[in-house]
Chain A
């Protein structure tokens, strides 16, 4: 488990992370969402041991990450700005990874290279951005670490490759019970990959939840009655947002969907629809409930 307690990170006078608390369980795909400058990359660098926190502590299974080779050999970090040795091919980079990561598997490396259709003998620095990202992903996965950190990895990938990478990561997590942390500024990108999501804003996590819970805990209800009514008819229902046009009321509700349906049906409505929300909509309403304007956050 990755544990971050009261972590603060400063760059001169700028506070990138402020008293951040976070707990990431093993064996999950954890999504980090936030706008530019929210602190996603900083957080990833902290938990990969590149940065040392100004305050607080970051531990994996109770051991500090910074300057701890025993912990760091279980982590592979793929940053947003990639680096490869000058004039290096994938084969040469594989040798480097094999030298520093004991769990590196050439077999897996070869298999993934073939799956992605990359030429391991070509100078990586001359290929496209997308292919570099694929190469970095292959090298990271071939190292077979317990923890994989991807910093906006899907940028620059075409939709086909994006899906392929997501599937490979997901399979890796499932097979080896690894933990993957993926950062992005796009909710849609993470929606179908991650188990848990955290939303970073101005150096802190303002919202964190299991995706399944998120998707099922909020839903949209459209209901209509023949008689005149107002919002007071739905007292007792946990609502985040309520609008009414004529006899049709639309509101966002939180709670057990089936219980809601039962209760509403008891009220004999003319029309009743309970609709799922997209992740983006869920975030929108949750943020507004917390007092943030969604457009300011993402």
Chain B
């Protein structure tokens, strides 16, 4: 262990990074203090009284996004010696193992960065404490620190790998961007291709999804806000990816030849790879013009731009016109890659178009709509479920009408797209189609409004759907139940009171409620699960339950009614909350 880390060397590295660390720290602290300071001054200056609310994470973390580029800058600065011969020789001549130098430099960099982040959050905490409109809570601060520490760790991984693979600052910056953004950009462009060429394909079920935001956590903070940070189960994945990057960077650092300083890459092969990766997104865009938009002009212009980028990058890195021109023919490589991707998408389109399914080929089908939320999406079972109901087990129906309408919708989509290249649709409905031959197809139906109504009516009326829809959550799946009592007073108007059912009474109440629900007729059950209720329907006394819970499929939130016929349940609640 001694050979892996040296406290003295760590202190040397801390001092080496001091100037950059202080600058980054000042920027971070000042930028992140602006919003809470603004809020504080606004509150103090305002003449209105405010109800204090628990501090929101967006208040204390808006400026911390600066940490991400600062992490890259800090590491580029710390490892700048790899880009200069005399500095590289000096650090490699020190009597420490290379891995030790690498780890000490990393540790020093992150000490400055996370130290600045800690100071920033402490300052924000002070501002929050002074602010009469906010209530201090430690949890948002801890979560914010953890979130940004994780993201900066990941960015640092990309940067440290880039500096070990390159020998100049310019190429290190470019490679950092390539490592960080190439996959998301290629993913975005490929999905653009697929969305335009074959909108009927459910790409969230293809292998492509592993490079999307849900899985490829190299996206980091792309599209995320602190409210939407990765779920706790994704944190280990992000951390694991970061550790893998550092391990790779450490290996490259230890194997790096000192004489690579001032060369754009540690090998010619890597130099060519970086060059190709740099222009690949532009080439892909050129292919988009040609394949999707059928614009030869657009394609040519974009290709020329890509070629110019290719040449400029080479000129800037090798600093020799003759050598740069000699490598010009290698531009064919990214063009080939782009052609492969575009060609693959085109082939996929033909495959999807040629495979529409007759009703007798389909065994069962499941339909759902997808709600977009940032770049993360959640499924809802169907349009009937206004609230986020309990995530349904996969409700497949073999109802003949549903299968027929599904097949017709798919045929119509393909026909319309083949004829005009367009489609008219009110919405997108995802369909999981189980075929009689044992295969499963994932499609997106693009029905017109009338088709959508017909299809979803048939699906929801199918016995399997109805059965699941009418099912209540199990008691063990429920985490909390809040009762809301609303009544209309002709003198005072509408009154509302809420109370949470105590945990010790939850099971007993739910057993009673579920029993009354089970004995009710289907019409009453449908009413109970409707989710929206009026006072008039309930003779001006409305009892509703807001239920949250978790199943194997995920969390849910429902709203049910306690109608007048549910006498025992209503009595139970009256006993629990006599005053309300």
Chain A positions near chain B (C-beta within 8 angstroms):
11, 45, 48-52, 67, 69-70, 72-75, 77, 79, 81-83, 85-87, 92, 96, 99-101
Q: Which residues of A contact B257 (CB under 8 A)?
A: 51-52
Q: Let me know if B19 and A83 touch, CB within 8 A.
A: no
Q: Give complex CA distance A69, B2 in Å.
A: 11
Residue contact B97 to A99, C-beta cutoff 8 Å: no
Q: Is B496 an interface residue (CB 8 A)?
A: no
Residues of chain A contacted by B19 (CB below 8 angstroms): 86-87
**Per-position 1/0 for B406-430, Cβ under 8 A of A:** 0000000000000000000000000
- Please report whether the interface of chain A is mostly helix, strand, loop or mixed according to DSSP: loop
Whole-angstrom distance between the alpha carbons of A198 and B16 in the complex? 38
Q: Which of the listed residues B16, B89, B98 has the most CB atoms from chain A within 10 Å of its own CB?
A: B89
B259 contacts chain A at the CB level, 8 A cutoff: yes
A99 with B9, Cβ < 8 A, contacts A45-B258, A82-B86 known:
yes
How far is the CB of B9 from the nearest CB of chain A, in Å?
A: 7
Report B-chain residues with C-beta under 8 Å of the C-beta of A11: 259
The distance from the CB of A28 to the nearest CB of chain B, in whole angstroms, is: 22
Q: Is the CB of B92 within 8 A of A85?
A: no
Residue of A48, A50, A86, A99 near B11 (CB, 8 A) is: A99
B86 touches A72 (CB 8 A): no
Can you report 10 A-B residue pairs in the complex whose CB atoms are below 8 A from each other?
A11-B259, A50-B89, A50-B93, A70-B95, A81-B85, A81-B86, A81-B89, A99-B11, A100-B8, A100-B12
| A100-B9 contact in complex given A81-B86, A82-B86, C-beta closer than 8 Å | yes
Residues of A within 8 A of B84 (CB): 83
- List chain B positions with a Cβ less than 8 A from chain A: 3, 8-9, 11-12, 15-16, 19, 84-87, 89-90, 92-98, 100, 254, 257-259
Chain A nearest CB: distance from B95 CB in Å? 4
Q: Of A67, A70, A82, A101, which is in contact with the most chain B CB atoms at under 10 Å from its CB?
A: A67
Contacts of A75 in B (CB 8 A): 93, 95
New contact pairs (18) apart from A73-B95, A100-B96, CB-CB < 8 Å: A11-B259, A49-B92, A51-B258, A52-B257, A69-B3, A72-B93, A72-B94, A72-B95, A77-B93, A79-B86, A79-B89, A82-B86, A83-B90, A92-B15, A99-B8, A99-B12, A100-B8, A100-B9
10 A-B pairs closest in CB distance: A73-B95, A72-B95, A81-B86, A99-B8, A83-B86, A83-B90, A50-B92, A69-B95, A77-B93, A83-B87
User: Contacts A50-B258, A51-B257 given: A100-B94 contact, CB under 8 Å?
Assistant: yes
Asked if B89 contacts A101 (CB within 8 A), the reply is no
Nearest chain B residue, comparing its CB with the CB of A54: B257
Closest A residue to B90 using CB positions: A83
Q: Among B8, B11, B87, B259, point to the contact of A51 (Cβ < 8 A).
A: B259
A79 vs B90: C-alpha distance in the bound complex, in angstroms?
A: 8
| Distance between A125 CB and nearest chain B CB, rounded to angstroms | 12
Structural contact, B98 and A67, CB atoms closer than 8 A: yes
Chain B minimum-CB-distance residue to A151: B89
A52 to B254 CA separation, bound complex (whole angstroms): 11
Contacting residues, chain B, for A69 (C-beta < 8 A): 3, 95-97, 100
A83 touching B89, Cβ below 8 Å: yes
User: B255 — nearest CB in chain A belongs to which residue?
Assistant: A52
Within the complex, which residue of A45, A74, A81, A85 is in contact with B16, where a contact is CB–CB below 8 Å?
A: A85
Whether A96 lies near B93 (C-beta < 8 A) is no
Contacts of A45 in B (CB 8 A): 89, 258
Known: A52-B257, A81-B86. A67 touches B9 (CB 8 A): no
- Which of B15, B85, B93, B100 sits near A48, CB closer than 8 Å? B93
Q: Which of A86, A96, A100 contacts B95 (CB 8 A)?
A: A100
Residues of chain A lying within 8 A (CB to CB) of residue B258: 45, 50-51
Kindly state the separation between the CA atoms of A92 and B11 in the bound complex, as whole angstroms: 13
Give the docked Cα–Cα distance between A99 and B8 (Å): 6
The chain B residue sitting closest to A11, CB to CB, is B259
Q: How far is the CB of A133 from chain B (nearest CB, A)?
A: 13
Cα A81 to Cα B262 in complex, Å, equals 14
Question: How far does the alpha carbon of A77 sit from the alpha carbon of B94 in the complex, in Å?
Answer: 9
Q: A83 contacts which chain B residues (CB < 8 A)? A: 84, 86-87, 89-90
